[in-house]
């Protein structure tokens, strides 16, 4: 078994749906494009053929990635509230006088724009295991940033 991939049940189902679509729709469509391009003759200067082969590599790579994540998925238990921060926790912090909301998620679900940070990111690592009232310092490319944990949900 590979490295665990932390996922919500919602994200796991989304990955399963994407995998099914890739296998049943995109893969056969790409194979058909390759077959059509081969029928055009000389492959050395056949841009349609090379484009289809590149798309095939992309599709196969994504299928492999999804299969790995599904096989190694560790579900995040939603609704389980703990006083210490872990994967699935929602946190409100004071960051240099401003309030910031974060959710700690596995790396496959990161969405910075919506406050979802990875447990493997510098901030995520620093928050893991901490409790309400704790203060942490995180070194970022922009310098050291101070966080005070106001709430853990």
Per residue in 86-135, pLDDT (tens digit) is: 998 999 999 988 999 999 999 999 999 999 999 999 999 999 999 999 99
Report whether pLDDT(140) > 90: no
CA 104/CA 114 separation, integer angstroms:
11
CA-based nearest residue to 55, from 29, 74, 35, 79: 29
Number of domains in the chain: 2
CA distance 136 to 130: 9
Which residues in 106-152 belong to E strands, given as ranges? 116-118, 135-140, 143-152
Whether residue 81 is contained in a domain is answered as: no
131 in a structural domain: yes
For the chain, give the longest Cα–Cα distance: 69
- Domain of residue 24: give its range: 5-75
Task: Name the pTM for this structure.
Answer: 0.75
Within a domain: 85: no
Position 76 scores a pLDDT of: 84
């Amino acid at each position: 078994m590979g490295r665990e991939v932390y996922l919500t049940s919602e994200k796991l189902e989304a990955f399963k749906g994407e995998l099914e679509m890739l296998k049943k729709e995109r893969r056969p469509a790409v194979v058909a494009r390759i077959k059509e391009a081969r029928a055009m003759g000389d492959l050395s200067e056949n841009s349609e053929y090379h484009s289809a082969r590149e798309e095939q590599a992309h599709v196969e790579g994504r299928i492999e990635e999804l299969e790995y994540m599904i096989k190694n998925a560790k579900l995040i238990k939603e609704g389980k509230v703990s006083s210490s921060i872990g994967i699935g926790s929602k946190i409100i912090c004071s960051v240099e006088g401003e309030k910031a909301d974060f959710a700690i998620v596995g790396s496959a679900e990161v969405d910075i724009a919506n406050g979802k940070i990875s447990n493997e990111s510098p901030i995520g690592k620093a928050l893991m295991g901490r409790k309400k009232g704790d203060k942490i310092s995180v070194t970022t490319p922009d310098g050291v940033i101070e966080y005070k944990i106001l709430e853990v949900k």
